[in-house]
Amino acid sequence: MAQQQAIADVVGIGAGPSNLGLAAAVHERNKAGYPSLSMAVLERKPAFAWHPGMLLDGATMQIAFLKDLVTLRNPRSPFSFLSYLEARGRLVDFINHQTFFPTRVEFTDYLGWVAESVDASISYGTTVTAVERLDGSGTPDGARWLVRFSGPDGDGELRARSVVVATGLRERLPEWAATGPRLFHNHRLLEHLAAADLDPAAPHRFLVVGGGQSAAEVAQHLHRSYPEAVVECAFNSYGFQPADDSPYANKVFDPAAVDDFFDAEDDVRAELMARHATTNYGCVDLELINELYAVEYQEKVTGNRRLLMRPVTEVRAAAPSNTGVRVELHDRMSERTTTAEYTAVVCATGFRSIGVSDVVSDWGVAPERIRVGRDYRLTIDGEPVPGLYVQGATEATHGLGSTLLSNVAVRAGEILDGLVADTSLTTIAKGA
Ligand SMILES: Cc1cc2nc3c(=O)[nH]c(=O)nc-3n(C[C@H](O)[C@H](O)[C@H](O)COP(=O)(O)OP(=O)(O)OC[C@H]3O[C@@H](n4cnc5c(N)ncnc54)[C@H](O)[C@@H]3O)c2cc1C
């Protein structure tokens, strides 16, 4: 049975960093004495978590803590990483640590602290199933959207003046990957390893497919967690390629780069995306590359080889076997194809943004007609759709920072400006 309908000025879909950044901006504005905006966030996970399947011991952030949810928008925000450290009583300890790159465990705790501290109401275990446009703007409460969800108490609906979709990423899997308990995407690594309950003292054999940061992190994790296991890494390049985090290249993530990318001609934008791909894609932190190399080298010295690289190698087929997974591997240089048995295969094969594809699937609008404007409002055939914003799935138009944390703070401020400038919302919020 549908739950009673309520109305919110803003409904956020997804309680990841993007909508938490917006919730922080809304909170600050409300506390500054402006007409209050109510925000409800619907999140399908049962409790706050940030990529929990990859919360590996010691894994660090790929971005400076100063690019938290707020600082680039408002360095005095009470929701900064520094405010979090102070609240947790670790400010001076963190300073002594002398790093810009906290662990993902600590950053997750920061994000959870923000989720608990903002005045937006966050409903967990609640999956949005559809977003429907209400007819006309003449509804008595000013609602323009009906957000349908499935929650812990069954199906429900929420009326909204505006909706901000920030549903994050979906796992990208190769065609040969029929996933199961022993063949899975790295995004669910810890969950699958826990379920497999593998004996750490047994001589397992793992295959990690992919050449990016996640692949390298997974290889290191498996190598450390299963001291008798052999870990093999299959990837397209000749060796792990370092991530370019040098200062000039890093400028592709600057807030100002969004205008540059958005305004550029399509061919220029595409060229820049390709030239700067190794700031984020198919690349690994140099420090981690060096750590893996040192391990492999030491194993060559001792003769106890457990970390093995299979460069320029593609997987052609994989099927469940009695012991795990049987895999056909093709070395593209020697053109030799071999078959091997693995305890488990981890596909660290990347992601794609979900965007609005799930929530607007019932609209009957061809995907090529849907875009996102510079102000993050959805457009259909170039016409902005009032009160529907998208965070994250804008890499093709807004640049490489779209799926990352780099621009969360500034983007939240821009979306808030849009929400406030929106005539009907302002009118309602002022009680006129
Ligand atoms: C392992 C890993 C490490 C990363 N490390 C970094 C890093 O160090 N620096 C960096 O800049 N970026 C990093 N990223 C990129 C990452 O995408 C961003 O950091 C960030 O998570 C993006 O935030 P988001 O809110 O847009 O999306 P997400 O964090 O993916 O959040 C989206 C949320 O929406 C929810 N959701 C989806 N569909 C629905 C629905 N229908 N109904 C309700 N809820 C829904 C999901 O459960 C999820 O909680 C990393 C990504 C991964 C996978």
Taking the C-alpha atoms of residue 75 and residue 70, their distance in angstroms, rounded to an integer, is 7
Q: Quick check: 2 pLDDT over 50? A: no
Sequence-distant contacts of 289-294: CB under 8 A, at least 24 apart? 289/216, 289/240, 289/242, 291/220, 292/216, 292/219, 292/220, 292/240
pLDDT tens profile 44-53: 999 999 999 9
- 127 CB under 6 A from ligand 1? yes
Q: How far is the CA of 136 from the centre of ligand 1 (A)?
A: 33
> Tokens 């600057």, residue?
254
**Residue 384, SS3 per DSSP:** strand
* Residue 431's pLDDT band (cuts 50, 70, 90): very low
Q: 330 CB under 6 A from ligand 1?
A: no
344, two tokens: 């488990």
Question: CA–CA separation, 191 vs 405, rounded Å?
Answer: 24
Which residue in 210, 217, 231, 223 sits closest to 343, CA to CA? 231
Residue range 88-124, pLDDT digits in tens: 999 999 999 999 999 999 999 999 999 999 999 999 9
For the cut 50, the answer to whether the pLDDT of residue 432 exceeds it is no
Task: Give mean pLDDT, residues 226-246.
Answer: 97
Q: In this structure, how many other beta carbons lie within 10 angstroms of the beta carbon of residue 363?
A: 16
Confidence of residue 421 (pLDDT cuts 50, 70, 90): confident
Between CA 359 and CA 269 the distance in angstroms is 28
pTM as predicted: 0.95
What is the secondary structure of 132-148 as a DSSP string? EEPSSS--TT---EEEE
Q: What residues contact residue 228 under an 8 Å CB cut-off, 6+ apart? A: 200, 201, 202, 203, 204
Q: Kindly state if the Cβ of 395 falls inside 6 Å of ligand 1.
A: no
Tokens of 211: 């050449």
Q: Say if ligand 1 is within 6 A of residue 212 CB.
A: no
Q: Say what the pLDDT of residue 414 is.
A: 98
Place of tokens 């400038």: 421
Which distant-in-sequence residues (6+ apart) come within 8 Å of 121 by Cβ? Answer: 39, 40, 41
Nearest partner of 359 among 139, 166, 189, 197, judged by Cα:
166
Greatest pairwise CA separation for the chain in angstroms: 78
Distances (CA, A) of 301 to 210, 306, 307, 355: 26, 12, 13, 49
Q: Distance, CA 253 to ligand 1 centroid (Å)?
A: 17
How many Cα atoms sit within 13 Å of 363 on the Cβ side?
A: 20
pLDDT in tens, 366-408: 888 889 999 999 999 999 999 999 999 899 899 999 999 999 9
**How many CB atoms are located within 10 Å of the residue 11 CB?**
29
Residue 405 CB less than 6 A away from ligand 1: yes
3-state secondary structure (DSSP) of residue 57: coil
CA nearest neighbour of 411 among 73, 1, 14, 10: 73
pLDDT of residue 362: 74
Residue 15 beta carbon below 6 angstroms from any ligand 1 atom? yes
Give the pLDDT band of residue 192 (cuts 50, 70, 90): very high
Locate the ligand 1 atom nearest the alpha carbon of residue 405 and give its number.
11
- Give the pLDDT confidence of 350-366 residue by residue, as tens digits: 998 777 777 777 788 88
Residue 354: per-residue pLDDT: 77
Q: What are the phi and psi torsion angles at 22 (to 5°)?
A: -70, -40
- Top-confidence residue, 315 or 138: 315
Q: Could you identify the atom of ligand 1 that is nearest to the CA of residue 128?
A: 42
CB distance 108 to ligand 1 below 6 Å: no
HSE toward the beta carbon, residue 237, CA cutoff 13 A: 13
CA dist., res. 187 & res. 342, Å (int): 19
Q: What is the mean predicted confidence (pLDDT) over 327-347?
A: 98
Report the chain's mean pLDDT, rounded to a whole number.
93
pLDDT band at 427 (very low <50, low <70, confident <90, very high): low
What per-residue confidence (pLDDT) applies to 417? Answer: 96
Cβ of 122: how many Cβ atoms within 10 Å? 20
Q: Is 43 in the pocket of ligand 1 (CB under 6 A)?
A: yes
Nearest CA to ligand 1 atom 7: 62
Location of structure tokens 């990841």: 16
Instruction: Look at residues 170, 176, 179, 173 and name the one whose alpha carbon lies nearest to residue 344.
Output: 179
Q: Is the CB of 13 under 6 A from ligand 1?
A: yes
CA-nearest of 19, 25, 35, 11 to 79 is 25
Q: What is the C-alpha to C-alpha distance for residues 362 and 392, in angstroms, rounded to an integer? A: 21
CA distance 156 to 406: 34
- pLDDT digit string (tens) for 77-96? 999 999 999 999 999 999 99
Alpha carbons 392 and 400: distance in angstroms, whole number = 10
